[in-house]
């Protein structure tokens, strides 16, 4: 359903994608591998923004967060996304990519506050922008933040990086005969409760007519193939 190169893309990275085989934290080999994939895309002149999760950092403190107030835990998770954004920025810097980090929480000593016109200017100038701290509000996931920021910057697509190379009719880890969908509608994904993104993010992208492409961040050159319109992953569409 797509055979063209996207020009402006919002990439949603989970914090877990930075863990590698570690139980939590940031695995240097994983972040360098992801940086290499991003560098290939940026070399094409693609306008790229990233929303990153914080699950890998928060996982290390999760046992102590048992019984914690949900809003407090969510703010801790937002801080974890800022840590990941800084780590990714540092790795990208050594690849020669000009990166800006904007946070939905006001932490001006460390990162810029999120200001939409400034983010758009950075993207127009060819800089990569990393959006941290989710939406800045508790009870909303970074998936929802990705959908929101995609709408705000005029992204043509949200690319959701996962450990699986698309959406399947059954669990491909448990079923070797599972079939990957090349595309699926938003309504079907919501009705079938596809867990690759939360329902709020699906609904927002559907309402704003922004397709979502689901692919594996662990597959070499998959990000490049997705952005250049190759048959990679699963497209969720109107």
Dig out the tokens for 170 from the structure: 């059954």
Tell me whether residue 30 is annotated as binding: no
Tell me whether residue 14 is annotated as binding: yes
Burial of 116 (0-12, 13-18, 19+ CB in 10 A): exposed
Tell me whether residue 140 is annotated as binding: yes
Tell me whether residue 162 is annotated as binding: yes
Tell me whether residue 100 is annotated as binding: no
Locate the DSSP E strands across the chain: 8-13, 47-52, 99-103, 112-113, 128-132, 157-162, 183-185, 212-216, 234-237
Q: Are 124 and 8 in contact (CB under 8 A)?
A: no
Tell me whether residue 142 is annotated as binding: yes
Secondary structure class of 165 (helix, strand, coil): coil
Regarding beta strands 8-13 and 47-52, do their DSSP bridges make them parallel or antiparallel, or are they unpaired?
parallel
Tell me whether residue 59 is annotated as binding: yes
Tell me whether residue 63 is annotated as binding: no
Tell me whether residue 39 is annotated as binding: no
Tell me whether residue 54 is annotated as binding: yes
Tell me whether residue 138 is annotated as binding: yes
Binding-site residues for UMP, please?
A: 54, 74, 135-142
Binding-site annotation: residue ranges: 12-15, 54-55, 59, 74, 135-142, 162, 168, 171
Q: Which residues are annotated as a binding site for ATP?
A: 12-15, 55, 59, 162, 168, 171
């Amino acid at each position: 359903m797509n055979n063209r190169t996207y020009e402006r893309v919002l990439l949603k990275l989970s914090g877990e994608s930075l863990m590698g085989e570690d139980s939590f934290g940031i695995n240097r080999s994983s972040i360098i591998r992801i940086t290499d994939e991003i560098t290939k895309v940026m070399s094409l002149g693609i306008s790229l923004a990233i929303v990153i999760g914080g699950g890998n950092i928060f996982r290390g403190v999760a046992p102590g967060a048992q019984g914690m107030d949900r809003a407090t835990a969510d703010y801790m998770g937002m801080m974890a996304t800022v840590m990941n954004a800084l780590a990714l920025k540092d790795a990208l810097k050594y690849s020669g990519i000009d990166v800006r980090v904007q946070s939905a929480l006001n932490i001006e000593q460390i990162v810029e506050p999120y200001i939409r016109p400034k983010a758009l200017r950075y993207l127009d100038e060819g800089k990569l922008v990393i959006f941290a701290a989710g939406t800045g509000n508790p009870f909303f996931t970074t998936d929802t933040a990705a959908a929101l920021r995609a709408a705000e910057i005029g992204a043509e697509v949200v690319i959701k990086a996962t450990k699986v190379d698309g959406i399947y009719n059954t669990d491909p880890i448990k079923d070797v005969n599972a079939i990957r969908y090349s595309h699926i509608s938003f309504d079907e994904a919501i009705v079938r409760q596809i867990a690759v993104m939360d329902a709020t993010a699906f609904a927002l992208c559907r309402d704003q007519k922004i397709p979502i492409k689901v692919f594996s961040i662990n597959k070499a050159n998959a990000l490049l193939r997705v952005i250049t319109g190759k048959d990679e992953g699963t497209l969720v569409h109107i």
